[in-house]
Structure 1
Amino acid sequence: MTLPTRTFTVTRADLVRYAEASGDHNPIHQDQAVAEAVGLPGVIAHGMYTMALAARAVTTWFPGAEVVSLGCKFTHPVVVPAEGGVDVEVAGEVKDAADGLTTVALTVTSGGQKVLGMPRAVVREAADRA
């Protein structure tokens, strides 16, 4: 079963808020000159923030469900422009549903580029919790 794609717009203000909440104040997530000095194409979103957007999509597809596991590899940065934002799209497909657990294969892209490798979530629906 294919799940509807969710699109999230990421702005630099989001990165500032995430840095405050997470304690990750690495300047590559806020300072263009620093990001470019270390070889990045610009300010990039925190990998864990990008992963959190994938989790947000999962919780909208399965409201009230428990996210049992969520995993991925960080494969490509999400470059966030100084003005406006950049879209991160999260698509999902149910791969397995057995024993009260649903496994969802995710595809997470930005600008047509996959930004998370092998993202996968496992959820337990509220009615299935013991």
Structure 2
Amino acid sequence: MSLYYEDIEIGARFTTASHVITEADIADFCRLTRDHHPLHTDAAYARQAGFDGIIAHGLYGLALMEGLKTGLKLYEDSSIASLGWNAVRFVLPMVAGDEVHVEMAFTDQRESRSRPAGVVTEAVDLILADGSPAITAEHVSLIRKRG
């Protein structure tokens, strides 16, 4: 399925497959971003800070949100660009072993002023297995029109 601008229905909701965050995921993100803060690498340090173990980077969670959302294949043929993420909030920590999924809904749309496309806004939440949001955000994309 590939949605074009004309197919967007404000209020339509989608849920992604889930993903279990692993220590390897966190370590890989440390390596890729060069962020080796002890909250992400040292379980004893993280526990002293009040966490159950090493925590995933908030930006890892944000990137994972986009990856999980991409798995829905909503814009396979219609995506032009991500225009940005707004109102990002890291609500709860994510630790290795946490299972997460994304819940998203279309909240706004408008025609592009510069090309035959539209700007689409989504409410996007990364949800823990107990139903609590770990991250909440708004994502804005540029989506092709048909033809």
**TM interval, short-chain normalised:** 0.7 to 0.9
Give the Å deviation of 1:5.
2.4
What is the TM-score normalised by the length of structure 1? 0.84
Give the Å deviation of 1:29.
1.1
What is the TM-score normalised by the length of structure 2? 0.75
1:104 aligns with 2:119: no
Give the letter for the 1:86 counterpart. Answer: D
1:79 aligns with 2:95: yes
Counterpart of 2:23 in structure 1 is: 12
Counterpart of 1:88 in structure 2 is: 100
- Structure exhibiting the larger radius of gyration computed from Cα positions: 2
Give the letter for the 1:31 counterpart. Answer: D
| Runs of 4+ in structure 1 over 4 Å off | none
Q: Which sits farther off after the overlay, 55-64 or 34-43?
A: 55-64
- Give the one of 39, 54, 69 matched to 1:43: 54
Name the structure where helix makes up a greater proportion of residues.
Answer: 1
The aligned length equals 122
Unmatched tracts of structure 2, length 5 or more: 1-11, 112-117
Name the structure where strand makes up a greater proportion of residues.
Answer: 1
8 A Cα contact 2:15 2:101, kept in partner: no
Distance 1:3 1:87 in 2: 17
Unmatched tracts of structure 1, length 5 or more: none
1:3 aligns with 2:14: yes
Give the Å deviation of 1:67.
1.0
CA 57–67 in structure 1, closer or farther in 2 if over 3 Å, else same: farther
Give the letter for the 2:90 counterpart. Answer: F
- Give the one of 26, 34, 38 matched to 1:23: 34
Distance 1:51 1:21 in 2: 15
Identity of aligned residues (%): 26
